[in-house]
Structure 1
Amino acid sequence: MANLTTEDIAHRLAAIHAVQHDDEVAHGLADDLYRDVLAAIAAGADNAPILAAAALRVETLDFARWCV
């Protein structure tokens, strides 16, 4: 995932937005996004702060988040 781009993240945010009515699916996709961004940063992504900021936009989407 070192080649993750802000465009990739934007597409994934759009996909999460499209399913935000299904909390479980949206939450799972958000978790996957965070994992992939962290993996890209750990692999040495040059644009780490930008990727992180883009991924944090998922917090603006309206779906329930919970942990067990």
Structure 2
Amino acid sequence: MALNKLRQLDQDSVGITLPKDDVRVEGLLDENGQLQSDHHVHIRHVGDGKWSVELVEGLEP
């Protein structure tokens, strides 16, 4: 099991890194391993120590 560290982003936010291999499987990276475009995700707290992350399609940039 890979572990990822929570990081302080600013006064109101923390972030976590998604493994590139997982993002690649979703088809979100180009041939150079860079994000193809802007993407949005919905993050929801679902229980003690548990969150869900869901890719949201169809939003205008």
TM-score of the two chains, using structure 1 as the length reference: 0.23
Larger fraction in helix: 1
Larger CA Rg, structure 1 vs 2 = 2
> Does 1 or 2 have the higher relative contact order (CA < 8 Å, sep 6+)?
1
